[in-house]
Copies of this chain bind each other. A is one copy, B any other.
Amino acid sequence: MLRSCTAGLHSLWALRGGREGVPRLSTDLQPAPRLFSAEKVIHKDWALPNPSWSKDLKLLFDQFMKKCEDGSWKRLPSYQHRSTQISEDFKTYFRDKPLNNENKVSQIFQLFTRGFEDGLGFEYVIFSNNDEKRTVCLFQGGPYLQGVPGFLHGGAMATMIDTALGSCATIPGGAIMTANLNINFKRPVPLCSVVVINSQLDKLEGRKLFLSCNVRSVDEKTLYSEAT
């Protein structure tokens, strides 16, 4: 039943990339024409404190907001919904389902990292320093992100690393897409703890961007992961 929705999905972004074998989303992957709706939803900025944020996360957030005052750093806003055209079949399937978010089919398509209720999933905010070509992501992973009991799922950590590196990759401008992600997991991250993901743009070769990041505890004493 869901299968036909694949054909109905519509790419709205153009790729910065264009590596061999990687389609330019807006042209190469042609969706079928049978589309239903593309309602625009008013967006809430999720990269702001909510009651589930721990003291550590709030404290770090305030510190970086201070750094934003002289313009050297910038907080990146973050939205839950991205307008994506959906097929009629898909709409029909989900019409009568008891969904979380007011059961609005037009709101079903959500950015992976923003589809959880406050505190349960990915709580994060990213700050960017364009001059230094780096970003800092403050991240608190909630109980829905569990892998080994008590600790973040490796995939959840990979997701935030991909997101953090992705935000850093947009500094030179243009949309991007991950071609390779290489992560060394040094230690498991306890659920609900706060970690800091420092990302930087190392090199730019034509259309290829090379980035690296590390994931550390708030006191910087524990290195959880490194990635490129």
A residues near B (Cβ < 8 Å) are 1-3, 5-6, 9-13, 21-23, 25, 29, 31, 51-56, 82-86, 90, 93-94, 97-100, 108-113, 115-121, 140, 142-156, 158-163, 166, 175, 177-188, 190-194
> Does A159 lie within 8 Å of B149, measured CB to CB?
no
26 A-B residue pairs with Cβ-Cβ distance under 8 Å, sorted by A, are A1-B51, A1-B52, A2-B119, A3-B193, A6-B192, A6-B193, A9-B151, A12-B149, A13-B149, A21-B187, A29-B188, A98-B117, A108-B144, A109-B149, A109-B191, A112-B144, A112-B153, A112-B155, A113-B153, A148-B177, A154-B162, A154-B178, A158-B158, A180-B184, A180-B185, A181-B182
Given contacts A117-B100, A149-B10, contact A181 B185 (CB under 8 A): yes
> Does A9 lie within 8 Å of B182, measured CB to CB?
no
| Most chain B CB atoms below 10 A, which of A55, A83, A99, A144 | A144
Identify the 7 closest CB pairs spanning chains A and B, nearest first: A155-B159, A9-B150, A112-B153, A3-B54, A158-B158, A115-B144, A6-B193
> Does A181 lie within 8 Å of B158, measured CB to CB?
yes
Residues on B with beta carbons closer than 8 Å to the beta carbon of A112: 144-147, 152-153, 155-156
Copies of this chain, tallied across the complex:
2
Given contacts A154-B162, A193-B6, contact A143 B22 (CB under 8 A): no
Assembled-state Cα–Cα distance A150/B123 (Å): 23
Closest-CB distance, A92 to chain B (whole angstroms): 12
Residues on B with beta carbons closer than 8 Å to the beta carbon of A12: 149-150
Residues on B with beta carbons closer than 8 Å to the beta carbon of A11: 148-151
Please report whether the interface of chain A is mostly helix, strand, loop or mixed according to DSSP.
loop
Assembled-state Cα–Cα distance A82/B6 (Å): 32
| Most chain B CB atoms below 10 A, which of A2, A90, A108 | A2
Given contact pairs A22-B186, A112-B147, A159-B159, enumerate 4 new A-B contacts (beta carbons under 8 Å).
A25-B188, A84-B146, A85-B150, A177-B188
Contact of A55 among B1, B177, B187 (CB under 8 A): B1
Residues on B with beta carbons closer than 8 Å to the beta carbon of A194: 3
> Does B190 lie within 8 Å of A29, measured CB to CB?
yes
> Does B13 lie within 8 Å of A148, measured CB to CB?
yes
* Residue ID in chain B nearest A218 by CB atoms: B3
